[in-house]
């Protein structure tokens, strides 16, 4: 049996997240011996969007490819990077209008072809997107004649109900449905009945003592005073590393294993 070994890392949040990645990637490679590493990069540059330098820093650290979400265009570099033919990053595929970049991409991993798709949820999301269920039907139809070894979905969504429902909807048709966006790792990783790996949210790479990556006291005061002010991102302290390790049978495209990754490292 041939298999692919994939690590998918949660949203990398700001400088502390990037520094955490640099420290922990060698350990992850030694422990899991992955064929490929994917991470969500929409919060890479100070919590909002990407820059060319921040993306190159993470490529240099050993991440092979990136998904994103609703913040991918928050900085000007995002549009320029996504416009490049060989960009190592995708944006959500279910935008309502034609927009820069690709929403899915086939990646060559040795002899294997892995399709990675980025989707946005719609429940509790301010922006409007195409229906992710119907959109995924269209994507799978588009690639049905490709000799794929696996299909991984990053579903960047707020509501666990929407994520769980999409997981069961796609079960058996894709290799893995990985939830992102909330920055809180869930404990529901499993292989669904028809063979797809699933987790509601993979978590984040960012400050452990934070509110989803942001300064605790500032966020508390925002809730108390209903102020809606911006909050700082801690740059030192304990960095939480969240992700999942997935094994895929490259002959059947079914998942063999999904295991949560939770590590910590000190950033000075």
**pLDDT tens readout for residues 88-133:** 999 999 999 999 999 999 999 999 999 999 999 999 999 999 999 9
For residue 162, pLDDT over 90 is answered with yes
For residue 242, pLDDT over 90 is answered with yes
**pLDDT tens readout for residues 50-60:** 999 999 999 99
pLDDT reported for residue 210:
98
What stretches of 59-212 adopt beta strand conformation (E)? 65-67, 104-109, 112-120, 150-156, 176-180, 190-191, 197-199, 204-207
Cβ contacts of residue 224 below 8 Å, gap of 6+?
A: none
For residue 127, give both structure tokens.
């922006």
Helix 52-61 and helix 14-32, axial crossing angle in degrees, nearest 10? 20
pLDDT reported for residue 229:
87
pLDDT reported for residue 128:
93
For residue 217, give both structure tokens.
């006291």
For residue 68, pLDDT over 90 is answered with yes
Catalytic residues: 71
Residue span of the structural domain in which 46 resides: 3-267
Report how far residue 172's alpha carbon sits from residue 222's, in angstroms, rounded to the nearest whole number.
43
Cβ contacts of residue 116 below 8 Å, gap of 6+?
A: 38, 65, 67, 90, 104, 105, 107, 151, 152, 154
For residue 227, pLDDT over 90 is answered with no
- The domain tally of the chain equals 1
Is pTM beyond 0.95? Reply is: yes
Q: What is the CATH number of the domain that holds 247?
A: 3.60.21.10
Consecutive H or E run containing 163: helix 160-170
Q: Which of 188, 206, 189, 211 is nearest to 255 (CA)?
A: 189
């Amino acid at each position: 049996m041939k298999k692919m070994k994939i690590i998918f890392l949660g949203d990398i949040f700001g400088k502390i997240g990037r520094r955490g990645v640099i420290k922990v990637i060698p350990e992850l490679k030694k422990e899991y011996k992955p064929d490929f590493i994917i991470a969500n990069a929409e919060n890479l540059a100070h919590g909002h969007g990407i820059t060319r330098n921040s993306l190159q820093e993470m490529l240099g650290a050993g991440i092979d490819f990136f998904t994103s979400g609703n913040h991918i265009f928050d900085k000007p570099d995002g549009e320029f990077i996504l416009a490049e033919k060989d960009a190592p990053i995708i944006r959500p595929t279910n935008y309502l209008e034609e927009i820069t970049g690709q929403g899915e991409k086939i990646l060559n991993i040795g002899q294997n072809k892995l399709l990675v798709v980025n989707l946005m949820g719609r429940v509790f999301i301010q922006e409007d997107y195409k229906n992710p269920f119907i959109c995924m039907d269209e994507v799978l139809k588009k690639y049905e004649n490709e000799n794929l070894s696996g299909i991984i979905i990053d579903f960047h969504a707020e509501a666990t109900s929407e994520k769980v429902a999409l997981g069961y909807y796609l079960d058996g048709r894709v290799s893995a449905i990985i939830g992102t966006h909330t920055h809180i790792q869930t404990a529901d990783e499993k292989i669904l009945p028809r063979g797809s790996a699933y987790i509601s949210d993979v978590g984040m790479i960012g400050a452990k003592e934070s509110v989803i990556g942001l300064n605790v006291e500032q966020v508390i005061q925002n809730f108390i005073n209903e102020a809606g002010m911006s909050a700082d991102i801690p740059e030192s302290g304990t960095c939480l590393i969240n992700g999942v390790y997935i094994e895929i049978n490259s002959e059947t495209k079914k998942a063999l294993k999904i295991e949560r990754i939770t590590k910590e490292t000190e950033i000075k």
